[in-house]
Amino acid sequence: MPNRSSLDQELASLRGLIADMANRVDEQFAGAMNALLQGDVNLAEQVVAADDAIDALELRIDQQCERILALHAPVAVDLRMLIMAVKINTDFERIGDHCRNLSRNARHLADAPGLLNQTRLPKMADMSRTMLREAEMAFLENDRLKARKVIARDLQVNRLHEETFETLVGMCEDGHEQAEVIAHLLTVSKSLERISDHAKNVAQSVVFMVEGRDLRHRGVQDDEDPSTNFPSLDEPSTGEFTQKT
């Protein structure tokens, strides 16, 4: 039988660490996108430098998960919380890596400041950041419906990525003189698409924790449940990055 008060303290501490991680990653994302949009190389370097702190936090969260698993042998919702924590910890750290990669493109994009705004990348960044923030809120509030909205939104980011890809390839085919910048924009698009994937993963983990239902890889699961249909999208994204354009 778990020592409930001790386990509750450990779990609260873990949640606090994950919330800290989510906040830091969110700030990194904002910094990375602003660096790209404004061609701010100094800001980009700050984002790259701050990634070490996120890596360190990932290790600390994993240690806390290991400690709870070893000392408390949690079951049921507590066990699902631990499984979720390990997974979303990795997702947040990977988002941090993508933010670092995004920032490394800033110097190259500074050579063609208007090109980025001719693409759907600012819109992609808006939607990805909305997904990240909503996934974080879903985690903090144990809100499975909010999590499911995040999951649904990923399809839109994927479509924007495909659209951006076609636009950029078209520019190259038309003999655009900034081919190198276009190549960097392709990596930016891919990073944004991957960030939204990780935000979706976080949301899926939240649903797993709350409902005990695994939403991943539905095609290969044999217990397809019609109740897992996603709600329609009716909430706009923040528009933070598109407003700046």
Partner 1 sequence: MSTNEPTDDAPPSPPAPSPASADEATPDARPQSTRDDTPPADASPSAEPSVEPKLNIDDLHFWYSDNHALQGITMDVQPNKVTALIGPSGCGKSTLLRCLNRMNELIQGTTLEGTILVDGQDIYAEDTDPVMVRRRVGMVFQKPNPFPKTIYKNVAWGAEINGYTGDVDALVERSLRQAALWDEVKDQLHTSALNLSGGQQQRLCIARTLAVQPDVVLMDEPASALDPIATSKVEETITELKKDYTIVIVTHNMQQASRISDETAFLYMGRLVEMNPTDELFTRPEKDRTEAYVTGRFG
Which of residues 2, 40, 110, 163 is near partner 1 by CB under 8 A? 2
Q: How many whole angstroms separate alpha carbon 124 and alpha carbon 158?
A: 9
> Which residues fall within 8 angstroms of residue 36, CB to CB, at 6 or more apart?
44, 102, 103, 105, 106, 109, 116, 188
**Whether 153 contacts 131, CB under 8 Å:** yes
Task: State in angstroms the smallest separation of the CB of 128 from partner 1.
Answer: 31
- Compute the least distance from the CB of residue 4 to partner 1, in Å: 5
Give the span between the Cα atoms of 163 and 157, in whole angstroms. 10
Which parts of 190-229 interact with partner 1 (CB under 8 A)?
A: 212
Instruction: Report the distance separating Cα 31 and Cα 37, nearest Å.
Output: 10
Q: Does 110 bind partner 1 (CB under 8 A)?
A: no
Using CB under 8 A as the binding criterion, the count of chain residues that bind partner 1 stands at 14
Q: Which is nearer to partner 1, 55 or 225 (CB)?
A: 225
Residue from 75, 175, 223, 229 binding partner 1 (CB under 8 A): 75
Choice between 190 and 213, CB closer to partner 1: 213
**Which ranges constitute the DSSP H helices of the chain?**
4-38, 41-72, 76-104, 106-109, 121-141, 144-173, 179-211, 240-243
Q: How far is it, in rounded angstroms, from Cα 124 to Cα 239? A: 10
Residues 3-32 that bind partner 1 (CB under 8 A): 3-4, 7
80 in contact with partner 1 (CB under 8 A): yes
Site string for partner 1, 32-71 (x = CB under 8 A): ----------------------------------------
Query: Which of residues 65 and 125 has its CB atom nearest to partner 1 in the complex?
Result: 65
Supply the minimum distance, in Å, between the C-beta of residue 228 and partner 1. 15
Q: Give min distance, CB of 241 to partner 1, in A.
A: 40
Provide the phi-psi class of 68: left if phi over 0, else alpha when psi is between -120 and 50, else beta: alpha
Rg (CA), the chain: 19
At its nearest, how many Å lie between partner 1 and the CB of residue 225?
13
Instruction: Determine, following the binding rule CB under 8 A, whether residue 144 of this chain makes contact with partner 1.
Output: no
The correct pick among 56, 71, 73, 233 for binding partner 1 (CB under 8 A) is 73
Nearer to partner 1 by Cβ, of 41 and 79: the residue is 79
Nearer to partner 1, 75 or 220 (CB): 75
Nearest-angstrom CA–CA distance, 4 and 10:
10
| Nearest in space to 168 (alpha carbons), one of 154, 196, 187 | 187
Residues forming contacts to partner 1 in the complex (CB under 8 A) are 1-4, 7, 73-80, 212
